[in-house]
Amino acid sequence: AIQMTQSPSSFSASPGDRVTITCRASQAINNYLAWYQQKPGKAPKILIYAASTLQSGVPARFSGSGSGTDFTLTISSLQSEDFATYYCQHYYNYPFTFGPGTRVDI
Amino acid sequence: EVQLVESGGGLVQPGGSVRLSCVASGFIFNKAWMSWVRQAPERGLEWVGRIKSKNDGGTADYAAPVRGRFTISRDDAKNTLYLQMNSLKTEDTAVYYCTTGNSGGEDDWGQGTLVTVSS
């Protein structure tokens, strides 16, 4: 099975900061990658699919890039509502797997 | 608007069984590929499995930790997805989410149902 890693596992940031989270796959997955945001006690919400396509309704401050094994999620200017945990997930082949998550704290 | 409503969770003894349900609305259920994702307390997300539409074969694929114990099925007449969980272990304790989507990832999620495996 393809393993997903994320870095960092957690970090603190301030509103207005530019934030980058990295996701790496253990083998090439083309661009079959999604990013999710999860807030405490809530179901996750998809932000990006196909590595760089913004889901409808997601603010443009979120962007994704990468292909193959290395991917990034960037938040251009962190807002208070963006403090959450972020997960990547590949859907290249079964079983799909999620990364361990990156928690973004104030 | 897509709505996914899970039910059936609760307290189960190790070795026991439980069936979760997910009632779907707001989209054409019989064309959708549906998934289950779980999250153990204070842990990350874990993909459980996915079932194809009947038109695409209706087969299901599973993550290794649940393969042979869990079965995903669907009743298109009732717009309902199921997860039959047998031979439950304490490590199966989690919130179980029903998901769907056209992007390839999990576009839409239910609110989740908690399964606690404990004696």
**Tens of pLDDT, residues A11-22:** 999 999 999 999
Arithmetic mean of pLDDT, B41-49: 97
Taking contacts as CB-CB distances below 8 angstroms, the residues of chain B near A3 are none
Q: Is residue B118 within 8 Å of B9, Cβ to Cβ?
A: no
| pLDDT score of A106 | 82
Distances (CA, A) of B32 to A56, A86, B15, B21, B76: 19, 26, 32, 16, 10
Arithmetic mean of pLDDT, B93-100: 98
Among the partner residues A53, A95, A98, nearest to B44 by beta-carbon distance: A98
Arithmetic mean of pLDDT, B91-108: 94
| Nearest-CA distance A80 → chain B (Å) | 22
Residues 6+ apart with CB under 8 A from B86: B17, B69, B70, B71
Antiparallel, parallel or unpaired: β A70-75 and A62-67: antiparallel
Among the partner residues A32, A43, A53, nearest to B111 by beta-carbon distance: A43
CA A99 to chain centroid, in Å, comes to 9
Report whether the peptide linkage leading into residue A95 is cis, meaning its omega lies within 30 degrees of zero. yes
Tokens at B12, concatenated: 């189960």
pLDDT digits (tens, 9 = 90+) for A45-98: 999 999 999 999 999 999 999 999 999 999 999 999 999 999 999 999 999 999
| pLDDT score of A96 | 94
Taking contacts as CB-CB distances below 8 angstroms, the residues of chain A near B63 are 95, 97
Residue B101 has pLDDT above 90, yes or no: no
Tokens at A6, concatenated: 């994320």
Query: SS3 for B51?
Result: strand
Q: B 5-34 residues with CB below 8 A of A?
A: none
Q: Whole-angstrom Cα distance, residue B70 to residue B84? A: 6
Cβ count within 10 A of residue A45? 18
Q: Of all residues in chain B, what percent carry a pLDDT higher than 70?
A: 100
Residue B35 has pLDDT above 90, yes or no: yes
Residue B104 has pLDDT above 90, yes or no: no
